[in-house]
Amino acid sequence: MTWDFSIEPDYAAKLDWARDFVRERIYPLEVLDLDHASFRKQAAPLQDEVKAHGLWAAHLGPELGGQGYGQLRLGLLHEILGRSELAPYVFGCQAPDSGNAELIAIAGTEDQRERWMKPLLDGRLLSAFSMTEQGTGSDPRQFTTRAELDGDEWVLNGRKWFVGNASRADFHIVMAVTEPDASPRERMSMLIVPAGTPGISTRELGLMNDPDHRNPVWSHCEVGYEDVRVPAENLLGGRGEAFVLAQKRLGPGRIHHCMRWIGVCRRAFDMLCERAVSVSVHGGPLAQKQTVQNWVADCAAAIESARLLTLHTAWKIDQVGAENARTEIAMIKYHGATVLHDVIDKAIQVHGSLGFSTDMPLEQMYRWARAARIYDGPDEVHRVTVARRLLAQYEPVDVPTEHIPTRRAAAEAAR
Ligand SMILES: Cc1cc2nc3c(=O)[nH]c(=O)nc-3n(C[C@H](O)[C@H](O)[C@H](O)COP(=O)(O)OP(=O)(O)OC[C@H]3O[C@@H](n4cnc5c(N)ncnc54)[C@H](O)[C@@H]3O)c2cc1C
């Protein structure tokens, strides 16, 4: 096995193009106060350029219209896209559509791929992943949304919570209990529900980073499903398979967030350093104050450690699959979220009141970063996963293995 940190020249050139494109063509859109419709209009010609450069939907294999770069190369691209919250949409790999397309690719029938996945990949449709129920998001075994088969239709009833883009999506993938008597992990199935189906109601939620729900890319909604009827063939995967499919979807999805956070961290770090060398107080530049130097050094080390853990996890997924990289995926999720928060926090601090104001993007980045410790499973749950999996590798002993007198006695007996 070799460890190689170099990037193939062809791919490095693509990354250089993406870096310039994001900075020169996407950053300007951030400050135009675009709503969802006008952002999509502005993004359309940019999406064509991305397609022409072979970087569209880079998370998917070539058989699905993507590039088949694998997770490691994708990680290098995502850390560039993460610098702007608008960039993943322009590159056709934004959540939740990227994960939903992968899900239909894994579990969908030929008809479902044709009708839902292909237009999703082309950027012609938007989708929502409707899973969480309020207060039980960490424990899906408690979900109660119900779907019952009535003739050749599923009838869906229940409430979902915090569903990304539910008010803008063309279809929802809904997790619902279809097998109430089965074991907790086999009670739920997934259904594809077209957004216009009678009985669906959505309430847009105000978020810490978007209290007036004006974000050009995402909305988040509480969704009611009341006697919503969809054809039996809208079942995605087999009956009772929702739990397993959700794990398959969320595993790679989580690491894509972590990859993008590196880009957010770097943008905040650039602002931190620029400010440190630009402003003088108490007789000298901030860059010469030891506290600020400590922040620069600690943030750089934290970003690099999160980056390496992210890319190593991506490499492991490429080698042995997401299922065998569960510990690493869970670890980078909470570690990356903490680094993200801390780096933005220090960048704000070095800017003083300017950093707290909306004249800088840092306060918005800070508010959005807070969500990273909650979505796709809160930190606590991922820590439990890591600790449980690591502790499972150890056996209880009467005497510690490293107990020096015991080892000395054994070594002397063996002489
Ligand atoms: C920005 C954002 C976007 C989202 N997008 C979507 C989406 O598109 N679709 C969707 O279905 N959902 C979405 N969610 C919901 C998300 O998946 C849930 O918020 C998450 O899984 C946690 O569930 P919960 O909010 O119900 O928290 P709860 O389950 O109520 O947990 C609350 C708190 O309890 C603690 N806790 C829970 N379990 C443990 C444990 N085992 N040990 C110790 N402490 C614990 C944690 O501190 C946790 O934060 C989104 C959430 C956010 C914030």
CATH topology of domain 244-391: Butyryl-CoA Dehydrogenase, subunit A; domain 3 (1.20.140)
Name which residue sits closest to atom 48 of ligand 1, judged by CA: 378
* pLDDT at residue 8 tops 70: yes
Quote the CA–CA distance of 210 and 205 in Å, as a whole number: 9
C-alpha 136 – ligand 1 centre gap (Å): 7
- Find the residues whose C-beta lies inside 6 A of ligand 1: 96, 129-132, 134-138, 162-164, 220, 371, 374-375, 377-378, 380-381, 384
* pLDDT at residue 1 tops 90: no
For the chain, domain boundaries: 9-122, 127-236, 244-391
Name which residue sits closest to atom 3 of ligand 1, judged by CA: 375
C-alpha 247 – ligand 1 centre gap (Å): 15
Q: At what angle do helices 326-351 and 379-391 cross, to 10 degrees?
A: 140
Q: What is the mean pLDDT of residues 67-81?
A: 92
Q: What is the mean pLDDT of residues 209-220?
A: 91
Q: Which of 175, 375, 381 to mutate to test the pocket of ligand 1 (most atoms within 8 A of CB)?
A: 375
Q: Which of 98, 126, 132 to mutate to test the pocket of ligand 1 (most atoms within 8 A of CB)?
A: 132
What ligand 1 atom has the least distance to the C-alpha of 378?
49
Quote the CA–CA distance of 166 and 161 in Å, as a whole number: 10
Chain segment 198-207, per-residue pLDDT in tens = 999 999 999 9
C-alpha 217 – ligand 1 centre gap (Å): 21
Q: Which two tokens stand for residue 341?
A: 């928060």
96 upstream amide cis, omega within 30 of 0: yes
Segments in 108-236 forming alpha helices (H)? 110-112, 118-122
Q: Under CATH, which number does the domain 127-236 receive?
A: 2.40.110.10
Q: What pLDDT is recorded for position 102?
A: 86
Q: What is the mean pLDDT of residues 377-391?
A: 97
Q: Which of 374, 376, 379, 381 to mutate to test the pocket of ligand 1 (most atoms within 8 A of CB)?
A: 374
Tell me the average pLDDT of the chain. Answer: 95
CATH topology of domain 9-122: Butyryl-Coa Dehydrogenase, subunit A; domain 1 (1.10.540)
* pLDDT at residue 43 tops 70: yes
**Residue of 270, 261, 252, 236 whose CA lies nearest to 360:** 270
Q: Which residues contact 347 (CB under 8 A, 6 or more apart)?
A: 268, 269, 271, 272, 275, 355, 362
Q: What is the mean pLDDT of residues 77-87?
A: 97
Q: Give the confidence band of 309 by pLDDT, cuts at 50, 70, 90.
A: very high
